[in-house]
Amino acid sequence: MRRFWSQMFLGGMSGILVGLVSMAWAEETGSVPPPLPARKVLTFYYPWYGNPKSPDGSGRWSHWEGVDEEKKQIASSTNYPKLGAYDSHDPKVIRQHAEWSKQAGIHGWIVSWWGRGDFTDRAMPRILQACQKAGLQATIYYETVRGQKTPENAAQELLEVLKTYADHPAWLRWQGKPVLFIYARALDELGLDGWRKAVHQIRQNYPQGVVLIGDQMSREAARLFDGIHTYNTVGHLKGRYVQEVRDWCEEKFPSWVALARKENKIATLTVIPGYDDTKIRKPGLKASRFEGHSYALQWQAAIAARPDWVLITSFNEWHEGSEIEPSEQWGDRFIGITRVWADRFTHPGKPE
């Protein structure tokens, strides 16, 4: 009962705070503030795996190395998928991923994308089809500027993505506008000045409007893009014990949300179940899963910081050991943990 009344009080206070913020905005600008984005849970999704044994797949090996089905080991993967070394082009695999995502309370995928015609791009039509049937949304994660690293090339590639995919019913949208995520590598290739030119060209040539979320937690990035995010927090969480993970998140997450709020942009926070890339990099990085406790504490701190969207790194980046997809080692534990916390995030005030 005490918990119930505490939630009621906090829910009422949050409504009052939103009202005060709206009044202050109106007084300062003379206009009504734009509505906050609906709370979403999104996960980074990797469609780059291939297995020639899959009859409905890509017809070749991609990304998996040293697969031993009997021992359930993959040389290039930290853990072993419950589905085995699957093919990302296989519709059955994509449908299963969509089903697990729905079970986890995830609203959509941020799909790793490496250019038109690339292996990842060829999976997009099937991904969008599966997402539409499952009631999920999808967008791309723009990983790198191909060819010459120029604003013109970046703008042209993203305009082509919008032209090809953005009208699909399953494409991730906010206020009717398609959403695109841009990875730090691509940001670094042009710098913020270069991206300022690219963004200008995109908006000029796509008058319908687009929502760009940049991978950099800075005031400059918040001013340039429509929202900011970070892909991975392992650099901050490596070597930390559970209590230290919670302390870091409670200190850092509110400041990241404040960066976006100050510029009236979409605020996101990223949570990771764990991380281990020591099979593919030397010496590599590692952040322990602590049986799921670290992940839960990150979620708790993220919800307390009140972002618009929570991002999960990742659904299936097996090489870096950050997946929540069911595995031989963890079963569906991280799908279940995600379900609990995603529900608390998207339904604030709901009795536990």
Q: In the structure, how many helices (H) and strands (E) does the chain have? A: 11, 13
pLDDT digits (tens, 9 = 90+) for 245-268: 999 999 999 999 999 999 999 999
Identify the architecture of domain 38-346 in CATH.
Answer: Alpha-Beta Barrel (3.20)
198 membership: H or E segment, kind and range: helix 184-205
Which positions ≥6 away from 347 have C-beta within 8 Å?
A: none
pLDDT in tens, 286-310: 999 999 999 999 999 999 999 999 9
Q: Where are the domains of the chain?
A: 1-33, 38-346
Stated length of the chain: 352
How is residue 20 written in tokens?
A: 């005060």
Quote the pTM value. Answer: 0.90
Whole-number Å distance between alpha carbons of 30 and 88: 50
Compute the average pLDDT of residues 225-237: 98
**pLDDT score, position 35:** 56
Neighbours of 66 (CB within 10 A): 11
